[in-house]
């Protein structure tokens, strides 16, 4: 049973979502402010965090920044509907996914299951190595030139999809389906933001380029090393 931490200052909504998640087989821990939510997230007994962005006192974005300083656990944000700025900032800080509030509980369950499924090591898939980049799917480990890369589960999956299609363009729609676990919505920039984060963490090729290239109007391509 996966244990999920739900952090939201709306007590009634938090309890309602908690009851729904419990009925769907999750072990749920509730907190109503970021000050108590961060220690609970980092206590070592939580598999994923659902984090509201707009909270009094310490904001959800500040809490996310603290969590990412110590952990790569899956984090799903709840954002105000239409608040693209907070949504993009949250993704830039390392959130794996987001849902606008008010959210459909069934959609929350689906997104949680997807992000948790993506974070579990799989015995399928041998080590994948292209130039200085190495992925070990069975251990969920990534390296660049022998140095460990601190990738979130979403970043790891994006890199794996791109590397398995080296030299070929992968559309944003396909990346969203295969790496984020859901269709790409209209005006959704989450794939672009995750790719931007991934580029910052990867090294450059000998010619100074990023190994992940944008193919305008089509998607992204992991280029072959020469």
Instruction: Name the residue ranges covered by the structural domains of the chain.
Output: 3-118, 128-222
Cα-based distances in Å from 223 to 4, 8, 141, 148, 209: 37, 42, 21, 21, 10
* Strand-strand pairing, 3-7 and 48-52: parallel
Residue 7 three-state SS = strand
One-character DSSP codes across 30-71:
EESSHHHHHHHHTTS--SEEEEES--SSS-HHHHHHHHHHH-
pLDDT in tens, the chain (226 residues): 799 999 999 999 999 999 999 999 999 999 999 999 999 999 978 999 999 998 988 999 999 999 999 999 999 999 886 667 888 899 999 999 999 888 889 999 999 998 888 776 655 567 889 888 999 888 889 999 889 999 998 999 999 999 999 999 999 999 999 888 888 888 788 999 999 999 999 988 888 889 999 999 899 999 976 5
CA distance 67 to 63: 6
Q: What CATH class does 128-222 carry?
A: mainly alpha
CATH T-level fold of 3-118: Rossmann fold (3.40.50)
What one-character-per-residue DSSP string does 195-211 give? HHHHHHHS---TTS--S
Integer angstrom CA distances of residue 7 from 41, 58, 192, 199, 213? 9, 12, 26, 30, 37
**CB contact burial 44-55 (16+ within 10 A = b; e otherwise):** eebbbbbbbbbb
DSSP summary character for residue 212: E
């Amino acid at each position: 049973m996966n244990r999920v931490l739900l952090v939201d200052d709306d007590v009634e909504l938090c309890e309602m979502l908690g009851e729904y998640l419990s009925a769907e087989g999750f072990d749920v821990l509730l907190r109503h402010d970021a000050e108590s939510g961060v220690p609970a997230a980092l206590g070592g007994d939580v598999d994923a965090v659902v984090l509201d962005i707009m909270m009094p006192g310490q904001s959800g974005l500040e809490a996310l920044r603290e969590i990412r300083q110590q952990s790569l656990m899956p984090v799903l944000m709840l954002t105000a509907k239409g608040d693209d700025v907070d949504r993009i900032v949250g993704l830039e800080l390392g959130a794996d996914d987001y849902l606008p509030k008010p959210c459909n509980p069934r959609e929350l369950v689906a997104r949680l299951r997807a992000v948790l499924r993506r974070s579990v090591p799989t015995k399928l898939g041998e080590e994948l190595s292209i130039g200085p980049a190495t992925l070990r799917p069975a251990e969920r480990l990534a390296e660049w030139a022998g140095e460990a890369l601190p990738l979130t589960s979403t970043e790891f999956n994006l890199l794996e999809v791109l590397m398995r299609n080296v030299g070929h363009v992968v559309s944003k729609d396909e990346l969203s389906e295969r790496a984020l676990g859901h269709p790409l919505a209209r005006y959704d920039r989450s794939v672009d933001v995750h790719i931007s984060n991934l580029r910052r963490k990867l090294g450059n090729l000998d010619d100074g380029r990023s190994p992940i290239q944008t193919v305008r109007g089509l998607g992204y391509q992991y280029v072959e090393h020469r």
